[in-house]
Amino acid sequence: MKKHVQGFSVLFLFLIFTSAFQAFGQNIQISGKVTDASTGQTLPGVSILVKNTTVGTTTGLNGKYSLQAKIGSKLVFSYIGYQTQSVVVSNQKIIDVVMKPTATSLGQVIVTGYMTERKRDLTGAVSVVKVGKMISQPVSGIDKMLQGRAAGVDVISSGAPGGGVAVRIRGFSTIRNDDPLYIIDGVPTTSGINLLNPYDIKSIQILKDASAASIYGSRAANGVIIITTKQGNSRNPRISFNAYTGIQSVFHLPHMLSAKEYGEAYWQASENDGITHVTNAIYGSGPSPVIPAFINTDGKQTIPSANTDWLKVIFKPAVVQSYDLSVSQGTKKKRSFFALSYFNRQGILKYTNFKRITARINSDYMLFDKIKIGENLLAGFSGSTKTETNSELNSVVYDAYKMLSIAPVYDINGNFTGNPLSDIENPLGKLYRNRNNVQKTYSLFGNLYSQYELTNGLIAKTSLGLDVSVFNFDNFNPSFQEPDAQNAVSELNVTNRTNINWVWTNTLNYDKTFAGKNSLNVLLGTEAINNSMRFTTAYRNNFPLDNLNSQVLNFGNGNSQRNSGDKFENSLISYFGKVNYSFENKYLFSATLRRDGTSKLKNYKWGTFPAFSVGWRISQEGFFHSNFINNLKFRFGWGQTGNQSIPPYVTVASYSSNPYYSNYAITGSQNSVTQGYTLTGNPNPNLKWEITTQSDVGFDLGLMKNRITITADYFIKKTKNLLFNRSLPPVVGGTNVTMWDNVGSMENKGFEFNMNYKNDPSKNFKFSVMLNVSVLRNKLTSLRTGIDFIGINPAILHIVNFDQETSRTVVGEPIASFYGYTVIGIFQSQAAADADKAQPNAVAGDFKFKDLNHDGIINDKDKSIIGSPLPKFTYSLSFNSQYKNFDASVFFIGSQGNKIYDLSRYYTDFFDLSNYNKSERTLNAWTPENKNTNVPRLSMNDPNHNDRPSTYFIHNASYLILKTLQIGYTFPKRISMKIKIKRLRIYLEATNLFTITPYSGLSPEVGLQNYTSDNRNLDIGVDRGIYPPSRTFTFGVNFNL
């Protein structure tokens, strides 16, 4: 209130002062310049209107204007994001105006695709992530900035350092690739998110509905995330420095059987199978297992028996650290922002790591008052030491589940060793051998642009965007011999990959206010995009030494050399236009049309994507009087967006040579082959665009001086012509058993609710609360005749699921629903088992499965959908507060109703693979004495096939997680200025402090199996031993000079 009074009195004095010189009724020529109060920069596009007339203009690119007005008339200066100002014309010819940015978020400027808009004028569903708050916290990447921060935005990420991230906006609109389109400073990218330094980011906007996103046409079906990086904006150089360091640790490890317990379980399982004299190569033969001094089966005494907790062996507390330094400055003629950052996160899984170094230069220059040229450029490096997790085969976490406790980590000579009966590589040995295998990415990302003001309000802009990355991976696998697992000769695999993507965008933007009431903004543009990728791989083996300096190809055996390489390219050309019109800031209208042509399709290259939206700010109506409601806007939008996210060339018939399966030693040679050609695929020249049609209705409400703001949206999103690589009847052969096709339709309906509350800012104790709730219902609504369901490619099923089919996508059900048999109990007696003719091999203690079709036999037809990984609703709650120099924040996220398929139980709860360790759950296995259990009897043979996919594996994984808790202290200026620091803040933060969940695995946040595979959406929520999230305690400092 105090501020308002002050502002008013200044204006009042100004009026009195100017009125002394006024000479009424005379038309004079007035010119001047409009600048930003905080930066001193000129403001282009400010609308100037002579009050109560239709005379008006806008400022040019240089912020200058000129018009004629009568002395005594009033000039009204308005601009999005700034407080409107009025100036009475006296006899001065030059009127320069300094405009103050508005304080409320309604005036906030939103980048919505080739243009900016005021939040209050928006008619589409757009979420704004408050970055300002976030940069005072330790954030490792974009995923952490998005998770839980906006309704309708779901972030799934791996716990691994530098691991995969999947962002889902309003559910799953397609099957293959649901990643949103990222636009960083106008340059589209789907990769490279890991390489962005969070501290460089100025704003993040999420365009959720079609009316907002369809300006990006062909790739906008999954929503658009627009990221804008910082610019210099202060007259004096501003230096800021942010640093933090923390310690991460694993916080929930499952328990496996000890050496003694495993032996006893093995005996129990064997005896259950009717074996009277149980023998085991390690535990001996006799009435009960005996733990020997050494576990060798070759009679040597080199591997002492142990009682190893392998999960504890592979994890360790790990350090994370981040440093960010930036210098920025902005004047009328020139702005620049320069930043350097270093981020290093050691993994809690030993010998895993991610580090990132980035440098950014953003600058622009004003030439001849009309031309602006500039660039936003990021040069980055990332290095990542990764390991496979969440997979049935080759996953180090799962291997730690499976390695017997009796096996020691080291043999008597100090070498890595293991279980002589199993093929599993010592998990720690595997991590250690992989320690130097760094996956490196070098990246150059950004754009060069130039804009020119043709006339007042009409701006032409051209921008060339670049996304160049070079990937290098020298993967060395030394030779080793553990008792069973071995690698006889050392091997080096070298992979180099180059991606070069460019985009050339040209726009014309016309922004004009007519008669003070009609505000019109017209955009026209073209865009050309080209993406290319090439890779080469090379291999040699038998290296004389294992050290790092030996790991170059030339040092390996030349006779073993192998190589491969390929290239891909695709392109897109687009034309688009957008009109925004508002009348008296009350009635808002927006329409978009985009036409895209893609090289990926053949007979149907072009797609056209229309959208429109309307808004009504009822709170601006004369009849609307409320002191309680400050803002109320209703919005409705409808639009179409497209998707062509398929590999290139799937519409063209061709033949090619594949080194894995095309060639043959026809001459009888034993070390050379003749080249052969196979069909590259089953081409579908009639493939069409996938089209998503979305309707959105919502409102924005501001209450109590906008201290409470509420945004709610309901949407229906229907996708047709779903693009999918569908299975053909297997008689077409195993090399090309699929074909890209438009297979069906999908529907997402949802409700989003966002509420913010801020208390009275004049209070000493300031706080704000934000609540987000998202409800999503996804289902597949149709599939073309002849396709009963969408399954996972069997080759992938083999590697990641060990051939267990866990999920299917069928009509009427959500994507990636779990699929299997229904366990209805355990046969409690032999008589009960014998009585069940449907399961002829069952004995007491085995599962009884439900005979769904009542045909008296348990077979494939008794499988059904048994759960969904998608939650009923998700929510997040954050609380920020400040008291004097202290600040504190708390952030919760939650998910309700989601299920997990715990496939880790396939090995750990059943004795079919007897040489792998078992979960402590097996201690509770059914026996005639222990009937009150859900764990079936232990059996080596398992003739009832208890381990088949079933409800046994499905578990409720709802959760509420205290994601972050932070306490900060800002030093009083009088103290910090003594060391010439304007602002100095220190903080402590804890993440993942507690998790409330009924799920017993490592974490209910299971994530995807793979973040890049074509099947990533078909395999959600399956736990095979994931890279778990860590609990982190961080200390950090922010300061500005």
Q: Which two tokens stand for residue 533?
A: 């990728």
The minimum distance between CB 379 and another protein, in angstroms, equals 28
Whole-number Å distance between alpha carbons of 431 and 396: 8
Q: Using the minimum distance from each CB to another protein, give the nearer residue, 570 or 709.
A: 570
Q: Using the minimum distance from each CB to another protein, give the nearer residue, 627 or 670.
A: 670
Q: What are phi and psi of 489, to 5 degrees?
A: -130, 145
Strand partners, 847: 826
Q: Residue 987 in 3-state DSSP?
A: strand
Q: Using the minimum distance from each CB to another protein, give the nearer residue, 382 or 1010.
A: 1010
The minimum distance between CB 797 and another protein, in angstroms, equals 8
Binding positions for another protein, 887-906, rule CB under 8 A? none
Q: Using the minimum distance from each CB to another protein, give the nearer residue, 21 or 664.
A: 664
Whole-number Å distance between alpha carbons of 634 and 616: 5
Q: Is there binding between residue 13 and another protein (CB under 8 A)?
A: no
Q: Which amino acid is at 99?
A: M
The one among 312, 435, 798, 931 contacting another protein by CB under 8 A:
798
Q: What is the DSSP string of 175-202?
A: SS--PPEEEETTEEESS-GGGS-GGGEE
Q: Which two tokens stand for residue 39?
A: 């930066």
Helices (H), 620-684: none
The minimum distance between CB 887 and another protein, in angstroms, equals 50
Point out which span in 266-274, 334-342, 365-373, 918-926 binds another protein (CB under 8 A).
Answer: 266-274
Q: Which two tokens stand for residue 702?
A: 């501001």
The minimum distance between CB 406 and another protein, in angstroms, equals 15
Whole-number Å distance between alpha carbons of 842 and 1020: 32
Torsion over CA: 427, 428, 433, 439 (sign): positive
Q: Using the minimum distance from each CB to another protein, give the nearer residue, 272 or 384.
A: 272
The one among 7, 286, 659, 897 contacting another protein by CB under 8 A:
659
C-alpha distances (whole Å) from 488 to each of 477, 481, 929 are 10, 7, 48
Are 76 and 516 spatial neighbours (Cβ–Cβ below 8 Å)?
A: yes
Q: Using the minimum distance from each CB to another protein, give the nearer residue, 612 or 847.
A: 847
Binding positions for another protein, 742-781, rule CB under 8 A? none
Whole-number Å distance between alpha carbons of 592 and 113: 11
The one among 487, 782, 896, 958 contacting another protein by CB under 8 A:
487
Q: Using the minimum distance from each CB to another protein, give the nearer residue, 62 or 801.
A: 801
Q: Residue 603 in 3-state DSSP?
A: coil
The one among 654, 759, 830, 930 contacting another protein by CB under 8 A:
654
The minimum distance between CB 796 and another protein, in angstroms, equals 9
Are 893 and 147 spatial neighbours (Cβ–Cβ below 8 Å)?
A: yes
Are 418 and 411 spatial neighbours (Cβ–Cβ below 8 Å)?
A: no
Q: Using the minimum distance from each CB to another protein, give the nearer residue, 143 or 846.
A: 846
Point out which span in 59-67, 149-157, 659-667, 775-783 binds another protein (CB under 8 A).
Answer: 659-667
Q: Is there binding between residue 84 and another protein (CB under 8 A)?
A: no
Q: Using the minimum distance from each CB to another protein, give the nearer residue, 137 or 651.
A: 651
The minimum distance between CB 298 and another protein, in angstroms, equals 5
Q: Is there binding between residue 528 and another protein (CB under 8 A)?
A: yes
Q: What character string, x for contact with another protein (CB under 8 A) and - otherwise, covers 413-432?
A: --------xxx---------
Binding positions for another protein, 347-406, rule CB under 8 A? none
Whole-number Å distance between alpha carbons of 501 and 570: 10
Are 89 and 69 spatial neighbours (Cβ–Cβ below 8 Å)?
A: yes
Q: Using the minimum distance from each CB to another protein, give the nearer residue, 460 or 552.
A: 460
If we measure between CA atoms, which residue out of 482, 296, 312, 484 comes closest to residue 401?
312
Binding positions for another protein, 548-607, rule CB under 8 A? 559-564, 566-573, 597-599, 605
Are 655 and 681 spatial neighbours (Cβ–Cβ below 8 Å)?
A: no
Q: Which two tokens stand for residue 599?
A: 């090289």
Whole-number Å distance between alpha carbons of 108 and 130: 11
Whole-number Å distance between alpha carbons of 427 and 418: 9
Torsion of CA 650, 655, 661, 665, to 10 degrees: -170
Under DSSP, the state recorded for 88 is: E
Q: Using the minimum distance from each CB to another protein, give the nearer residue, 491 or 713.
A: 491
Q: Is there binding between residue 648 and another protein (CB under 8 A)?
A: yes
The one among 342, 410, 504, 751 contacting another protein by CB under 8 A:
504
Q: Is there binding between residue 484 and another protein (CB under 8 A)?
A: yes
The one among 377, 379, 579, 799 contacting another protein by CB under 8 A:
799
The minimum distance between CB 829 and another protein, in angstroms, equals 19
Whole-number Å distance between alpha carbons of 760 and 776: 34
Binding positions for another protein, 274-293, rule CB under 8 A? 274-275, 279-281
Whole-number Å distance between alpha carbons of 345 and 332: 40
Binding positions for another protein, 723-742, rule CB under 8 A? 727-735, 737, 739
Q: Which amino acid is at 58?
A: T
Give the side-chain half-sphere CA count within 13 A for 915.
13
The minimum distance between CB 913 and another protein, in angstroms, equals 4
The minimum distance between CB 678 and another protein, in angstroms, equals 5
The minimum distance between CB 859 and another protein, in angstroms, equals 6
* Residue recorded with tokens 């893609």: 598
Are 898 and 869 spatial neighbours (Cβ–Cβ below 8 Å)?
A: yes
Whole-number Å distance between alpha carbons of 140 and 194: 9
Binding positions for another protein, 943-972, rule CB under 8 A? 943, 945, 947
The minimum distance between CB 1007 and another protein, in angstroms, equals 24
Binding positions for another protein, 677-716, rule CB under 8 A? 677-680, 682
- Total chain residues near another protein (CB under 8 A): 114
Give the side-chain half-sphere CA count within 13 A for 184.
28
Q: Which two tokens stand for residue 555?
A: 């040092």
Q: Using the minimum distance from each CB to another protein, give the nearer residue, 344 or 550.
A: 550
Q: Is there binding between residue 544 and another protein (CB under 8 A)?
A: no
Point out which span in 130-138, 183-191, 653-661, 952-960 binds another protein (CB under 8 A).
Answer: 653-661
Binding positions for another protein, 809-848, rule CB under 8 A? 841
Q: Using the minimum distance from each CB to another protein, give the nearer residue, 422 or 997.
A: 422
* H/E element, 255: none
Q: Is there binding between residue 676 and another protein (CB under 8 A)?
A: yes
Q: Using the minimum distance from each CB to another protein, give the nearer residue, 422 or 519.
A: 422
The minimum distance between CB 926 and another protein, in angstroms, equals 19
Q: Which two tokens stand for residue 272?
A: 């259950």
Whole-number Å distance between alpha carbons of 206 and 85: 31
Binding positions for another protein, 903-932, rule CB under 8 A? 907, 910, 912-916
The minimum distance between CB 385 and another protein, in angstroms, equals 21
The one among 83, 307, 439, 506 contacting another protein by CB under 8 A:
506
Cα 280 to chain centroid distance, Å, stands at: 48
C-alpha distances (whole Å) from 1019 to each of 653, 812, 818 are 30, 18, 9
Q: Using the minimum distance from each CB to another protein, give the nearer residue, 103 or 795.
A: 795
Point out which span in 111-119, 200-208, 535-543, 918-926 binds another protein (CB under 8 A).
Answer: 535-543
Q: Using the minimum distance from each CB to another protein, give the nearer residue, 245 or 495.
A: 495
Binding positions for another protein, 297-356, rule CB under 8 A? 297-299
Q: Using the minimum distance from each CB to another protein, give the nearer residue, 530 or 956.
A: 530
Are 820 and 863 spatial neighbours (Cβ–Cβ below 8 Å)?
A: yes
Please name the residues in contact with 671: beta carbons below 8 A apart, sequence gap of 6 or more: none
The minimum distance between CB 814 and another protein, in angstroms, equals 21
